[in-house]
Amino acid sequence: MQYEGKVTRLSLREEYPTAISNTKYRANLSMVGFNTDFIVEHKPALAVRIMALYKEAAKLKESDPRASDEECRVAAWKLM
């Protein structure tokens, strides 16, 4: 069996717009999920922005240059 890296499953509920996991709370990966059906019903323009960000993020590759430690620290602070 080939190692495929860490896995965290995220469950979205139909009555909520988002779900989140965080390594701070023992998840393997920190992530955010969006219930786009819910968001489209309430704020369609927000759903369009989320999908634009998704397309940008989906283009990232492991081989892309890494951000500096300082950029990562600032981002981590803003995400908390």
Q: Is residue 11 in some structural domain?
A: no
Report d(CA 29, CA 31) in Å as an integer: 6
Q: Which residues of the chain have pLDDT under 50?
A: none
Query: What is the reported pLDDT for 15?
Result: 97
Query: What is the reported pLDDT for 2?
Result: 74
Q: Is residue 37 in some structural domain?
A: yes
Q: How many independent structural domains does the chain possess?
A: 1
Amino acid, res. 22: N
Regarding pTM above 0.85, the answer is no
Q: Is residue 21 in some structural domain?
A: yes
Range of the domain at 52: 17-60
Query: What is the reported pLDDT for 1?
Result: 63
Report in angstroms the alpha-carbon separations of 42 from 33, 46, 52, 74.
Answer: 17, 9, 18, 31
Q: Is residue 10 in some structural domain?
A: no
Please count the other Cβ atoms lying within 10 Å of the Cβ belonging to residue 66: 8
